[in-house]
Structure 1
Amino acid sequence: MRTTPGSTRSWLWAHPLVSDSILAVVLTTASLWTIVAFAEPPYARPADALNLALAASCTLPLTLRRQRPFVLLVATALPGVGLIALGYSPGLSGIGTFVLLYSVAAHRGLALSLAALAVSFATYAAMVAAAPVPISWANHVVMTTVMLLCWVCGRALRLRRAYLSELVQRADRLERAREADTRAARAEERSRIARELHDVVAHHVSVMTVQAAAARKMLDTKPDVARDALTAIEEMGRTAMAEMRSIVGVLRTDGPAERAPQPGMQDLPALVEQMREAGLRTQLWIEGERRGLPPGVDLAAYRLVQEALTNSLRHAGPSARAWVTVRHEPDELSVHVEDDGRGAAEESLRIGGKGHGLVGIRERVALYGGVLRIGPRTGGGFEVRAQFPINHRPLGNSPLNHRPLNHSPLKQSPLEDRA
């Protein structure tokens, strides 16, 4: 298999023991050859087996320089001093000391690297004291400079590695945070889409189901009433398809979506009329001065009323009535939907059922910092009460005074009698 120089370097970098072994063998060979070739009297004793063994013991340990650099630095100090004390040629054993000093500084902490620097100076001082001939000041300066340079280069490499490692860890943390934000945004978007789809589908399908049941019962006895119910089902289906098409259009990415205006509190009369036609006797009160609502609060309040009335239509029973009270205050919008439907068993089903409507209501109210209460109504039935905090300038000065919720017995309108 052919290998390029770059791939060879990468392989050696990934296997440091191999590269260190090659370095130790090459340096030991060069040191022993230097001793044999240049060790001549009177500068040094003739080379012998002890000379070669001591010199090799100063360079061969470089094989493990990354695993035990400080221990090897201390261990090679004795044979290095012995070479000088016995008058042998040291060969290139001093280079082994420099490499080990660099390794300690590059792979160990500051305290241990300072200790290694102290050991190196102490070893050199011992060699100077054991030398048979005086050593010049120039040699002292060169050795001191080289040892300090090896130590500084090792520390610089260690700090650079620590800095790069911190950059990598920071990048990993940022990537994980970005992925977490992306997952949270996707979950929030899925939740929002699920709320919109549920509000549109559940409401319209519930009304269509009730109308279809009424048409089936009246088909033989009152065909005109059944025909009207089927017409209402057809219109409701078209409305549902239009809203579904609007929602799906927003999700498209290959072109601009055709967006229709979102429903709001101004559409409550039409919603109440729709529920009356479906069979739920519903009344609406709007109290206080109408104000401009934030679009999100406007939609959330409308969907809350829609879901509450849909639940009343589905669970309250055929003879139930529902009341919707909307109260505009200077810094708050209150919405109260209640019915006088079935008892505790059906109420438990509404609260703890498997549907997503009440979950969507809670999410919408919480999204705008509102307060929500869902539960049985005093005297029987069910109620949904929410307060949305707002602070907007009024859009008009024509207050609509309507009867409050604690009213006298309600008078049914002709539309209510149709239920």
Structure 2
Amino acid sequence: MLDSAAALARRLRLPGGARGAASWDLGLAAVLAAASFVPQLAGNGLQFGQLAVRPADTWSVLLTLGQCLPLSVRRRWPLLCLVVVTGSFAAFQSLGYRTDFASAGLFVAVYSAGAHLGRSRRGVAAVATAGYVALSVTLHALRSPERLIDYGTFYLALVICWRAGSWMRARQAAEVERRRESAQQATAAERARIVREIHDVVTHHVTAIVVQADSAQYLVGSAPDRAVDSLSAISGTGRRALAELRHLLGVLEGPEGAAGPRPGVPAPSVEEAPASGRFRDLVERTRLAGQPAELFEDGDDAPIAGAAQHAAYRVVQEALTNAVKHAPGRRTVVRVRYGTEIRIDVTSAGPVIAERAFTPGRGLTGLRERVNLCGGELSAGARPGGGFVVSARIPSAGVRE
């Protein structure tokens, strides 16, 4: 039975999540049909009309199957299921056949219509009500002993089934909407992360390239050897920028890449950008750009894992970029202290220009969000004696053993 249900689901071309439901519906229809012909279960169905019992014949068998087999497509074609089941039930009761287990399919069909019918719901409900009135009049004309209250009670039961299906439909729709909103929020958050990454990469490297190029212009005539060093630094900075941009493009492209899925290759992560956490390299490149920069590290400098490592790297990178832009040629000091938390202080000497330099913008705003996501804090502003300072505190719970 389960094999035939799966085969039917494949023929219906249902999506993967719906094939299990189709198999279950087919099983329900088959069980209900089989139970209708078990002698021990005879008389345990819905008896509506109480007409004289008519002996079973071919028509009774067909009408019995018509009340249960359509349930196999109750989700895919709920209107067809409702029409066939209710029509078979009405004919079965009007002809006065002995009740059987298949009549319970009426309630399932009504519930399914309420839950899965998409269009013209009010019209279908109105037509169904009119059909029920016609059946009641027909049964009364056939001298059914049912009273008005009996007809009303049975109709109320059908309405309850319909409303239960409608409630389930509304609940499922709300769940779909919730998942859609969650997906949109996740997409927006990921897009914001990529924007922050691109800003950090482009701003830092392009600023270094511009400063190095300006320096090389002045050195071409006076100190050719140093000009060559500046040009080499520009080349290295450009290559690093390209490497990081390629990585970000790989994050956007996903694990499939341009050549399709690659088995065993995990999806790239923003936190896995090249050179993450290598503070000495950042300071050295800043020094090559003509900015006097120093690095001091205290404590156990065990490798920092994941987002904390990446956030610490970006803090130092953004602070050095601001030093090159807003305090060119001024001594810049980077201090990193390791412990239960990573503390970073980047200070730059010079005139008080930080009020203009540190007006909240994309760089500092994105950097503060990045640090906050790691459970840390970031501050940036002017120093009392001139220059500016960028300070960050990042929990080191992710430090690898």
TM-score, with length taken from structure 2: 0.60
Unaligned runs of 5+ in 2: 1-78, 84-118
Query: How many pairs does the alignment contain?
Result: 277
- Tell me which of 268, 276, 285 is aligned to 1:274: 285
1:263 aligns with 2:275: yes
1:298 aligns with 2:309: yes
2: CA distance, partners of 1:230 / 1:190 = 34
1:164 aligned residue: 165
The 1:192/1:158 distance shift into structure 2, 3 A limit, reads: same
2: CA distance, partners of 1:149 / 1:233 = 91
1:398 aligned residue: none
Q: Secondary structure at the match of 1:161?
A: helix
How far is the alpha carbon of 1:12 from its aligned partner? 11
1: CA distance, partners of 2:222 / 2:191 = 46
1:348 aligns with 2:358: no
1:322 aligned residue: 332
Q: Secondary structure at the match of 1:219?
A: helix
The 1:245/1:154 distance shift into structure 2, 3 A limit, reads: same
Identity %: 33
How far is the alpha carbon of 1:293 from its aligned partner? 2.1
CA contact (8 A) 2:212 2:233 kept: yes
- Tell me the amino acid that sits aligned with residue 196 of structure 1: E
2: CA distance, partners of 1:26 / 1:164 = 23
Find the structure with the greater CA-based Rg: 1
Q: Which moved more, 1:192-201 or 1:270-279?
A: 192-201
1: CA distance, partners of 2:126 / 2:186 = 48
How far is the alpha carbon of 1:247 from its aligned partner? 2.0
1: CA distance, partners of 2:387 / 2:181 = 43
2: CA distance, partners of 1:151 / 1:245 = 71
1:210-264: CA deviation from partner (whole Å, max 9, x where unpaired) = 0011112223333332222112111111121122112212332334479676433
1:369 aligned residue: 375
1:336 aligns with 2:345: yes
CA contact (8 A) 1:275 1:309 kept: yes
- Tell me the amino acid that sits aligned with residue 370 of structure 2: R
The 1:22/1:12 distance shift into structure 2, 3 A limit, reads: farther
Q: Secondary structure at the match of 1:220?
A: helix
- Tell me the amino acid that sits aligned with residue 386 of structure 1: A
Alignment of 1:56-67 (within 5 A): none
1:190 aligned residue: 191
TM-score, with length taken from structure 1: 0.58
How far is the alpha carbon of 1:177 from its aligned partner? 0.6
1:277-319: CA deviation from partner (whole Å, max 9, x where unpaired) = 1011111111122234222111110111011101111111x33
The 1:150/1:192 distance shift into structure 2, 3 A limit, reads: same
2: CA distance, partners of 1:150 / 1:332 = 75
Unaligned runs of 5+ in 1: 31-90, 96-141, 396-419
The 1:21/1:299 distance shift into structure 2, 3 A limit, reads: closer
- Tell me the amino acid that sits aligned with residue 361 of structure 1: L
2:395 aligned residue: 389
- Tell me the amino acid that sits aligned with residue 191 of structure 1: A
1: CA distance, partners of 2:161 / 2:127 = 24
1:360-383: CA deviation from partner (whole Å, max 9, x where unpaired) = 211110111101111112211111
Alignment of 1:19-418 (within 5 A): 142-143=145-146, 146-252=147-253, 253=256, 254-256=260-262, 262-265=274-277, 267-316=278-327, 318-329=328-339, 331-343=340-352, 346-352=353-359, 354=361, 356-391=362-397
- Tell me the amino acid that sits aligned with residue 235 of structure 1: G
CA contact (8 A) 2:219 2:227 kept: yes
1:91-127: CA deviation from partner (whole Å, max 9, x where unpaired) = 96x99xxxxxxxxxxxxxxxxxxxxxxxxxxxxxxxx
TM-align CA RMSD:
3.5
2: CA distance, partners of 1:394 / 1:366 = 21
How far is the alpha carbon of 1:341 from its aligned partner? 3.1
1: CA distance, partners of 2:394 / 2:121 = 67
2: CA distance, partners of 1:12 / 1:373 = 59
1: CA distance, partners of 2:376 / 2:316 = 15
- Tell me the amino acid that sits aligned with residue 332 of structure 1: E
